[in-house]
Amino acid sequence: MISISDGKDIHFRKAKFDPKICPPNCKRPCENVCPTFAISEYGVSKNKCYGCGRCITSCPLNLISEYEYQLSQDSLKDILLKIKPDAVEIHTEINRKDAFQKISKIIKDADVKLKKISVSCGLAQSNAQPKDLAKAFWERYEILSEHNVQLIWQLDGRPMSGDIASTTAKAAVKLWERMQPILPPGLIQLAGGTNGNTYKFLSKDKIPDGIAFGSVARKLVQPLIEETFKTNQKIYENPDKMAQAIEKAKTLLNPWKS
Ligand code: SF4
Ligand code: SF4
């Protein structure tokens, strides 16, 4: 699966600051708060930062800013043809129907054989109501009908926060309870704040089709990512480390199995 966005999106941002202007006696809360060890005396490592934003609010001098880290839509078709993913996740926002339509067309024109398309959207970044979100999902349902693939509606509760506390999934679960009866046909997945404790907020007879474990899974496998970084590799280039990472991530599934 590859993730793309039809516009500005916090999932595709990076943090930056100029370490030369930091006071030498700063206790470096930015470094302490970063879950991916992306911050050092040299600033932010672009490759390690995944845009969670925690460092931005941690700096007492407001020296950290964010920037969009996106490829241009012009290159999307080529990327799809090169990677040939079997699934695509599209991050969208309620009022971006036209931008979403453009992305859908690019995917259609690339003619890659997709098994699934996931649409990720939530309310956290807007003042919209569940009925507005449902309308947005229905619009995307119509747009995506030409693809004739399995659709997944991903409800983004509290983005990129699942590793912060056991209770961060509450927003996603609440959103799901309100949205589930009014969503278009397709699978429903919870995301944004979800973690190994999410099942505790759900009743046994009513569970979603899937859970995304983004931030919390990243935190689990981060030490292995760090180890491979030291050998100038990315984790997916090292089969042993990749296998270990998958085993670690699988532990998040244990509560669901039992
Ligand atoms: S705290 Fe988050 S936004 Fe800041 S550098 Fe680390 S990963 Fe990036
Ligand atoms: S918290 Fe702010 S001032 Fe301190 S090291 Fe980080 S960016 Fe620099």
- The structural domains of the chain, with segments of one domain joined by +, span 2-7+71-212, 18-63, 218-257
Check: CB of residue 69 under 8 Å from CB of residue 14.
yes
Question: 14-28, 158-172, 236-250: lowest mean pLDDT where?
Answer: 158-172
CATH fit for domain 18-63, picks 3.40.640.10, 3.40.50.2300, 3.40.50.11260, 3.30.70.20: 3.30.70.20
Tell which one of 25, 41, 44, 64 to mutate to probe ligand 2, the residue whose CB is within 8 A of the most ligand atoms. 64
DSSP 76-115: HHHHHHHH--SEEEEE--TT-HHHHHHHHHHHHHHT---S
To 5 degrees, how large is the angle CA 9–CA 157–CA 57? 60
Position 126 pLDDT exceeds 80: no
Q: What b-and-e string marks burial along 83-108, b requiring 16 or more CB atoms within 10 Å of the CB? A: eebebbbbbbbbebbebbbebbebbe
Check: CB of residue 122 under 8 Å from CB of residue 133.
yes
CA 4 to chain centre: 10
Question: 25-34, 59-68, 118-127, 185-194: lowest mean pLDDT where?
Answer: 118-127
- Span 139-159, pLDDT tens digits: 999 999 999 999 999 999 988
pTM for the full predicted model: 0.90
Residue 57 CA, ligand 2 centroid: distance in Å: 10
Distance between CA 252 and CA 248 in Å, rounded? 8
HSE-CB for 121 with a 13 A CA cutoff:
30
Residue 28 CA, ligand 2 centroid: distance in Å: 5
Q: Across the chain, what does the average pLDDT equal?
A: 93
Ligand 1 shell residues, CB under 6 Å: 15, 33-34, 36, 38-39, 44, 49-55
How high is the pLDDT of residue 206?
Answer: 86
Tell which one of 14, 30, 31, 54 to mutate to probe ligand 1, the residue whose CB is within 8 A of the most ligand atoms. 54
Distance between CA 223 and CA 236 in Å, rounded? 14
Which pair of structure tokens corresponds to residue 115? 């098994």
Tell which one of 41, 50, 62 to mutate to probe ligand 1, the residue whose CB is within 8 A of the most ligand atoms. 50
Question: 27-31, 103-107, 199-203: lowest mean pLDDT where?
Answer: 199-203
How high is the pLDDT of residue 9?
Answer: 87
Which pair of structure tokens corresponds to residue 129? 């109501």
- Span 208-238, pLDDT tens digits: 999 999 899 998 999 999 999 889 998 999 9
Compute φ and ψ for 54, nearest 5 degrees: -65, -35
Compute φ and ψ for 163, nearest 5 degrees: -90, -5
